[in-house]
Structure 1
Amino acid sequence: MNQINVMTVGELEKALDENRDLVVIDVRENEEVAQGMIPTAKHIPLGQIPEEVDHLDSSKEYVMVCRSGKRSMNASEYLSAKGFHKLNNLEGGMLDWKGELVF
């Protein structure tokens, strides 16, 4: 299995500020994302990842996000098994995110 990197909230904020070419995927449920998402994040609930995987570009870098980091790690492990190599799991998830939110 490929290595899944752990990214801190601070590292993600810096990467977004620098317009680094990465895709943030929020795997929380609809009622959770209604409370706010990281700007630029794409919402794919965890249960829909298997049907969405063919629409994702495996050459891109991804940051997986959930409430605390557990579901996003599950999503990262699934993508890793599907051949994705540039995966980051957001440590502490949205519980630790203090940055801007979009609704």
Structure 2
Amino acid sequence: MNLTQEDWVSQLNTDPNAVILDVRTENEFSEGIIANAINIDINSGQQFVNAIEALDKEKNYFIYCRSGMRSAKACEIMNQLGFENAYNLTGGIMEWEGEVVAP
């Protein structure tokens, strides 16, 4: 599900089951992240799928990338794997107005 930054943040901040996923490359991740994000590179193919499958399906996943395209794809993949709550940050970190921290 695509969410605006405002909706993504407000849901994230009120969700005790929230997990933030950054699906960018390791290099992009090292340039700065949304606090507490876990990096799982969507471009890593089967490794990405294996890492996603190891996650708790009971949690709610807030996903972002650079522009929102890869994270939208990650949400689709997660839905196919049986995750019900995967939320894409529309516009990605490029349009993020919140704090960016070092990983």
Shorter-chain-normalised TM-score: which range?
0.7 to 0.9
Question: Between Structure 1 and Structure 2, how many residues are aligned?
Answer: 99
Deviates more, 1:19-28 or 1:33-42: 19-28
1:98 corresponds to which residue? 97
Deviates more, 1:10-19 or 1:45-54: 10-19
What is the root-mean-square deviation of aligned Cα atoms in Å? Answer: 1.5
For residue 56 of structure 1, report the CA deviation from its aligned partner: 0.4
**With structure 1 as the length reference, what TM-score do the two structures score?**
0.85
Q: Which runs of 5+ in 1 are unaligned?
A: none
* SS class of match (2:79): helix
**With structure 2 as the length reference, what TM-score do the two structures score?**
0.85
2:70 corresponds to which residue? 71
* SS class of match (1:59): coil
Q: Which runs of 5+ in 2 are unaligned?
A: none
Q: Does the Cα contact within 8 Å between 1:25 and 1:41 map onto a contact in 2?
A: yes
2:9 to 10, 13, 19: 13
